[in-house]
Amino acid sequence: MSAARFRSRPSAVASLLVPLALIAIVALAGADGTPAFQGTVTLILCNLIVVIGLQVFVGNSGVYSFGQLGFATAGAYVAAFLTLPAAFALLQTPGLPHFIVDAHLGSFPSTLIAAAVSGLLAMAIGLPLMRTSTLAIPISTFAFLIVAYNVVANWDRITGGSSGLVSIPTTTGVESAALWAGAAVIAALAYKWSASGYRLQATREDEVAARSIGVGVMRERLIAFGLSGMLCGVGGALAVHQSGVLNPTTFYFGATVTTMTMLVVGGARSVFGAVIGAIAISTVNELLRGVENGASLFGSISIGEAPGLAAIGLGLILLATMIAMPNGLSDGREAGELRWLRRLGSKGAVPPPRAHGPGLAAIPPRDRSAKGALRAERVSVAFAGLRVLKEVDLSLEPGEALGLIGPNGAGKTTLVNVLSGFQAPDSGSVWLDGVDVTGRTPARLAHDGLGRTFQAALPFPHLSGLESVAVGAMGMGIGRRRAVEVAAIVLGRLNLLDRSTQPAGSLPPGSQRLLGIARALAIQPRYLLLDEPAAGLNEAECAELVAILRNVLKDFGCGIMLIEHDMSIVMELCSRVQVLDDGMTLRVGTPDEVQADPAVVQSYLGSSFLAAADA
């Protein structure tokens, strides 16, 4: 029996080989041309590496950075310093330490060092920047770009100031640029398909849901930011060894717009998109410049110097793409995920995971030995003076199902948010297995064994069902291979296997909702909080949900807390029911006791419920 996989082998191979083949074609087209044409092609390949660098961060995180060209600048200057002939170095950069001037490295080691320096710089810069909000990152990275420019342009004794550096050895040829570009493709795909890459993509798809399965948003962004900076540094280092000249505007605003256009036009979510975007826009750019110069089509190009016409053309292309085709030429897919290629190659793109594997008992809650419970003690929360929770107590033990009911606005969801770390209580505390966990982040609580779902399904639309659920396991730091196994088991138990290869966003609402439960189960929680899991499900789906949850209780043994308006579901599953009303606990008891309580009937169930129950 073959193990479950995210993608079929032909699909993975195509995703890798198609971009590599495109790069090889570009390189072959350039190899026989005039020296000027070779130079143009080499620079296109250097740009392509920078665009792949952008893709690693922007594509996987969904957060735009306008600062990555600052790392290309860093890589370019480091590579130039390490290779400048001593005589020129003394003239242009008198302040440079001797050991750097005397290094006289070759092209390859200087590129490696440039990569390391720009990668480390990106980590150092990213450490504070990634702490800022999703909204502030584009702006703080833009600020970094301008700071970097300002420093480079004014640090005359080291960088040669605004006039820049000349006479840098020109050692980058078409072949070496193509090899580096190929390596960049491999690195970007390897990252995208790693557990860390998947965790970052989950934050792109839905940041809140990603945090609920234990993903440290800041940490994953930082890793990608560093890798992205490294690749941009390689692109910069190779470019400077092609053109032989460098100044602070080489990789500045103009180049930022150009590379961003390449990424967006190709489709930021895929490496394939980055490659075709870079090639397509470079070609258009050359044609426009040809028209601009009125002369030969493929004249020499210089990055950064972008007079009128070509830049207007690029701007218009970027604008049209954003309006008419926001997913870009690749539609955000890798080459192996394209429809025509699927049709051409293997029929079932991904072998469906095993249908009759082991039950949930094979993936018990982590740390099952721990004794204890999830408890809220005298929790109070107020929003702008409105007291939503007033000293509420709650306790949930592993293996039991607790129903949380009450009228709308009673504070049920707020209580779940407090328990799962999304809402800090104004007073009171949350205890998990005897430890005070008040104030811990949602991601930390997920690691502590707490899973939850939301009133909305919050799917990861562009990830497949299998990937969505496996990310849950990967959020726990479980390796990719094992995570797929866990996901297959959970999906099998929830009868979702047959649809698990489709993008989650294309599934019907009922399946998306179940997928949300599967995702929370994949973190193998000791406590699972479900916020209206049956909302929007039809009757058949409701019955299925009840069967599934019964199965989870029996097989899996975690404690389940259920917010639900459908009393039949609550009565069927729960051994205890807690009734909230106006932020206070009205009653805790068995389903029968609660139903018989006149206060509960009056506040929530209503007399028609009694009538229906009698009937």
Partner 1 sequence: MTELGQNLIDALALGSLYALIAIGITLVYTVMGMMNFAHGEFIMLAAYALYVFAGLPFGAALAAALLTGIAIALLAERVAFRPVRSADLSAQLVTSLAVAAILQNVVTATVDARAQSVETPAVLSESTSIGSISVPNLEFVTLALTAIVLGGLGWLLYRTRTGLAMRAAAENFDMARLLGVRADRVIAIAFAISGALAAAVGVLIVMQTGQVTPTMGLTPVLVGFVAVVIGGFGRMVGAVVGGLLLGILSSLLGVYLPEGLVPFRDAIVFTFPVLILIVRPHGLLGGEIGKARV
Binding site for partner 1 (CB under 8 A): 62-64, 66, 128-129, 131-136, 138-140, 142-144, 146-147, 150-151, 154, 207-208, 211, 253, 257, 260-261, 264, 306-309, 311-312, 314-316, 318-319, 322-323, 326, 413, 417, 422-423, 442, 454
**Cβ distance to partner 1 smaller for residue 290 or 359:** 290
H/E stretch holding 379 reads strand 374-383
Give min distance, CB of 461 to partner 1, in A: 12
Helix, coil or strand: residue 404: strand
Contacts of 358 (CB under 8 A, 6+ apart): 489
Place of tokens 């949300």: 516
Give min distance, CB of 35 to partner 1, in A: 28
**Cβ distance to partner 1 smaller for residue 269 or 493:** 269
Report the C-alpha gap between 33 and 181 in whole angstroms.
Answer: 20
**Cβ distance to partner 1 smaller for residue 46 or 288:** 288
Distance separating the N- and C-terminal Cα atoms of the chain: 52
Helix axes 107-129, 174-192, angle to 10 degrees: 40
Report the C-alpha gap between 202 and 110 in whole angstroms.
Answer: 36
Residue 477 Cα to chain centre, angstroms = 15
**Cβ distance to partner 1 smaller for residue 70 or 559:** 70
How many other C-beta atoms are found inside a 10 Å radius of the C-beta of residue 13? 14
Place of tokens 């169930």: 605
DSSP state at residue 53: H
Report the C-alpha gap between 169 and 158 in whole angstroms.
Answer: 18
Identify which of 479, 500, 513 has the alpha carbon closest to the alpha carbon of residue 209.
Answer: 513
Give min distance, CB of 149 to partner 1, in A: 9
Give min distance, CB of 133 to partner 1, in A: 4
Alpha helices in 494-576 (DSSP H): 509-521, 539-551, 567-573
Identify which of 250, 262, 236, 267 has the alpha carbon closest to the alpha carbon of residue 314.
Answer: 262
Give min distance, CB of 452 to partner 1, in A: 9
Alpha helices in 102-194 (DSSP H): 107-129, 137-154, 156-159, 174-192
Report the C-alpha gap between 470 and 11 in whole angstroms.
Answer: 19
Residue 466 Cα to chain centre, angstroms = 16
Report the C-alpha gap between 247 and 98 in whole angstroms.
Answer: 22
Give min distance, CB of 528 to partner 1, in A: 16
**Cβ distance to partner 1 smaller for residue 454 or 604:** 454
Give min distance, CB of 28 to partner 1, in A: 32
Buried b (16+ CB within 10 A) or exposed e, 471-506: bbbbbbebebeebbbbbbbbbbbbebbebbbebbee
Give min distance, CB of 308 to partner 1, in A: 3
**Cβ distance to partner 1 smaller for residue 314 or 349:** 314
Report the C-alpha gap between 226 and 121 in whole angstroms.
Answer: 8
Give min distance, CB of 264 to partner 1, in A: 6
Contacts of 176 (CB under 8 A, 6+ apart): 107, 108, 238
Give min distance, CB of 612 to partner 1, in A: 32
Give min distance, CB of 318 to partner 1, in A: 4
How many other C-beta atoms are found inside a 10 Å radius of the C-beta of residue 183? 15
CB 363 within 8 A of CB 491: no
Report the C-alpha gap between 241 and 227 in whole angstroms.
Answer: 22
**Cβ distance to partner 1 smaller for residue 294 or 348:** 294
**Cβ distance to partner 1 smaller for residue 156 or 400:** 156
Place of tokens 């930021």: 268
Give min distance, CB of 426 to partner 1, in A: 16
**Cβ distance to partner 1 smaller for residue 182 or 525:** 525
Helix, coil or strand: residue 205: helix
CB 424 within 8 A of CB 431: no
**Cβ distance to partner 1 smaller for residue 305 or 393:** 305
Sheet holding 427-432, edge to edge: 386-396, 374-383, 427-432, 435-436
**Cβ distance to partner 1 smaller for residue 253 or 609:** 253
| Beta bridge mates, 403 | 562, 577
Identify which of 173, 170, 575, 243 has the alpha carbon closest to the alpha carbon of residue 401.
Answer: 575
**Cβ distance to partner 1 smaller for residue 107 or 512:** 512
CB 242 within 8 A of CB 111: no
Give min distance, CB of 277 to partner 1, in A: 13
Report the C-alpha gap between 254 and 234 in whole angstroms.
Answer: 19
**Cβ distance to partner 1 smaller for residue 109 or 439:** 439
**Cβ distance to partner 1 smaller for residue 94 or 128:** 128
CB 46 within 8 A of CB 239: yes
**Cβ distance to partner 1 smaller for residue 70 or 591:** 70
Give min distance, CB of 280 to partner 1, in A: 16
**Cβ distance to partner 1 smaller for residue 108 or 383:** 383
Give min distance, CB of 187 to partner 1, in A: 24
